[in-house]
Homo-oligomer: A and B are copies of this chain.
Amino acid sequence: MGKPRNAISPTRKEDYPEWYQQVVKAADLAENTPVRGCMVIKPWGYGIWENIRDSLDSMFKETGHKNAYFPLFIPKSFLQREAEHIDGFAKECAVVTHSRLEADADGILQPAGELDEPLIVRPTSETIIGELFARWVQSYRDLPLLINQWANVVRWEMRPRLFLRTAEFLWQEGHTVHSSAEEAMEETRLMLRTYADFAENWLAMPVICGEKTESERFPGAECTLCIEAMMQDRKALQAGTSHFLGQNFSKACGIKFQSVLGKEEFGWTTSWGVSTRLIGGMIMTHADDDGLVVPPKMAPTHVVILPVTPKEETRAQVIEACEEIAKELRALSFSGGSLRVDVDDRDLRGGEKYWSWVKKGIPLTIEIGPRDLEKGTVFVGRRDQGAQREGMERQSFVEQVPNILEEVQANLFARALAFREENTVTVDSKEDLYAYFTPENKSKPEIHGGFALAHWDRDPQWEEQLKNDLKVTVRCIPEETGKFGTCIFSGNRSPGRVVLAKSY
């Protein structure tokens, strides 16, 4: 049959949301389950998550954080301690009300053993962690307290979408306590920089760092910083957030300490998190119409070797040569570890097998057949270069693999950055802004716009109007806002440009 026009149907242009679902399916990353909004993360998807987790975890530990594990359940009364916080989460939480099942008169199992107080499956853990921090923090000597948790959380989602919005998701949540507002704010910034570093240098996903407006803040935060990335449909994805919580939660939970001067003070806290949503961001940043493209540093397998065995009599020899090259490659290092190499000798047609790896986004494929053995060559495919494959001299190729992977990693980042720059405009009037975000082709409303940088006087009424009119929001007030200017809505003075976009 040869190569189909594209391995993924529909293409991005034809139907972006459906393309996304098909990429996830073709790469065998995850599936929906009969439990509403809850996905199963399959081995290839979970392998990517393990790499995300391990890379970030090292970064957290290098900056002095330690991991701990807190209860899954939060008593309802705890969640209510911070007024904005409960307002933000009450609408979408899983409530445990009973502690067993018991057969009723008809022999049907029904919830029984009603709890005195309902428990909420954590949507985030500020209040339960705050309760424990209040025990642990007594004196300024106990500060800063720098804790991280890797865990599952649940937020009931009405319109779930694999990785991007799921009722249950995996994440990490950092929680820290400091003796001053300045130090807590510095921590909030440090963790945002850590996320930006990770997003750009590991996921190869360019991000804009900035602050959320009041309407988009985390419920209970004084200030929410975020990283925002542009997906290939030119919508924004919030990929990580870091919150300065002031003394809101320390007052709600009683986190007090004796200062150097012997005075009792409330602690200053932060929290910050990224989730399996990053995988959704990675997909929509790099995948193409042939399927997933995984940045090498995040790939569960860097290189797959495909034996080409047309004749039974050379089969053993070819497989042996594949194992030999795998062994040589595994002895090489990449990104602080050994190269991860698989030999795929499944009993499948060559084309089908090759395309299964393309769809999984493997950075490098190597095909080896009987003629390659004779000639001392290998047939190499680089996922970032599409369908083209080329013969290369075996020995010099093997040595180059780590460099090639670095190149792939850099290329993916450069490409994504160029895409974002091409699709970012500076807008100086309300009319231009509305035109920019109004689809030319009404039947494909998702393919238009991008990031618009515009002056805004920070008055929430324009934010509200923009949301209603165009579904566009202020994604962030970037760290470098540039110069003062004139608000495109009111004509008032603006302290700097903000990033406007449609978003996930």
Contact = CB atoms under 8 A, between A and B. Distances in A.
Interface of A: 31, 33-35, 38-43, 46-47, 49-50, 66-76, 78, 80, 86, 90-102, 109, 111, 113, 118-121, 128, 131-132, 135, 141, 147, 151-152, 154, 156, 168, 170, 347
B67 A40 contact: no
A118 B111 contact: yes
Given A43-B147, A46-B69, A93 B101 contact: yes
Given A33-B131, A76-B109, A119-B35, A69 B41 contact: yes
Contact of A35 (B38, B42, B128, B141): B128
A347 B98 CA distance: 48
B99 A93 contact: yes
A50 B102 CA distance: 37
B109 A73 contact: no
24 contacts: A33-B71, A34-B78, A34-B131, A35-B71, A35-B119, A35-B128, A40-B70, A41-B68, A43-B66, A46-B66, A86-B101, A94-B96, A94-B99, A95-B96, A95-B97, A95-B101, A95-B111, A97-B98, A98-B118, A99-B156, A100-B156, A101-B120, A141-B347, A151-B152
A158 B128 CA distance: 22
A99 B154 CA distance: 10
B121 A109 contact: no
Given A35-B119, A40-B132, A73-B94, 9 more contacts: A43-B147, A46-B68, A72-B168, A73-B168, A80-B109, A92-B99, A94-B99, A121-B121, A151-B152
The 5 A-B residue pairs whose C-beta atoms are closest, nearest first, are A38-B71, A43-B66, A95-B98, A90-B101, A41-B69
A147 B41 CA distance: 12
Nearest to A54: B54
Contacts of A33: 70-71, 128, 131-132
Given A70-B40, A72-B121, A170-B69, A100 B92 contact: yes
Given A31-B132, A90-B102, A42 B68 contact: yes
Contacts of A72: 38, 121, 152, 154, 168
Contact of A40 (B69, B109, B113, B168): B69
A452 B96 CA distance: 43
A168 B71 contact: yes
A40 B98 contact: no
B68 A97 contact: no
Contacts of A141: 347
Nearest to A33: B71
A369 B40 CA distance: 56
A68 B151 CA distance: 15
A459 to B, nearest CB: 31
Contacts of A132: 31, 33, 40
Nearest to A132: B40
Contact of A111 (B70, B97, B102, B156): B97
A193 to B, nearest CB: 23
A194 B49 CA distance: 25
A82 to B, nearest CB: 13
Nearest to A98: B95
A73 B43 contact: no
A69, A72, A74, A111 pick with most chain B CB within 10 angstroms: A69
Nearest to A101: B90
Contacts of A43: 66-68, 147
A151 B38 CA distance: 15
A93 B96 CA distance: 10
Contact of A75 (B35, B93, B147, B151): B35
B95 A67 contact: no
A97 B90 CA distance: 15
A132 B40 CA distance: 8
Contacts of A86: 101, 109
A62 to B, nearest CB: 14
A333 to B, nearest CB: 15
A101 B168 CA distance: 18
Nearest to A348: B141
Contacts of A147: 43
A121 B119 CA distance: 12
Contacts of A35: 71, 73-75, 119, 128
Nearest to A136: B42
Contacts of A68: 40-43, 46
A24 to B, nearest CB: 14
